[in-house]
Amino acid sequence: MNIDIIFKIAAVGILIAVLNQVLLRAGREEMAMLTTLAGVVVVLLMVVNLINNLFNSIKSIFRLY
């Protein structure tokens, strides 16, 4: 289990928060919304493999084949 990905996700989160603030301050609400969405998608892409692993583990633990 790699712990690095947690730090990476945290960094992306902080970055998106700052970006959001900068864009809101400049009066570009729709761009701020878009960057937030892009951040969510990027993080989702990072963790999609891990979620897959989690589901597979659950399946094998409870014998749901």
Partner 1 sequence: MLIKIISSVLIIICCSLLGIHMSYRYTQRINNIRELRNVLSHLETEIVNYSTLLVHAIRNSSKYVKGDWKPFFDNIVEALENRMEYSLAEVWQESLRALEHNPNVDKAEYEIMQRFGLQLGSSDKVSQEKYFQLIQEQLKVEENSAREARLKYSRMYYNLGILLGLGIAIILF
Q: How far apart are CA 24 and CA 29, in angstroms?
A: 5
Q: Which is nearer to partner 1, 27 or 64 (CB)?
A: 27
Separation of alpha carbons 52 and 42, rounded Å: 16
Q: Which of 1, 6, 18, 37 binds partner 1 (CB under 8 A)?
A: 18
DSSP summary character for residue 32: H
Decide whether 11 or 54 has the Cβ nearer to partner 1: 11
**Could you list the residues that contact partner 1 (CB under 8 A)?**
8, 11-12, 15, 18-19, 22-23, 25-28, 42
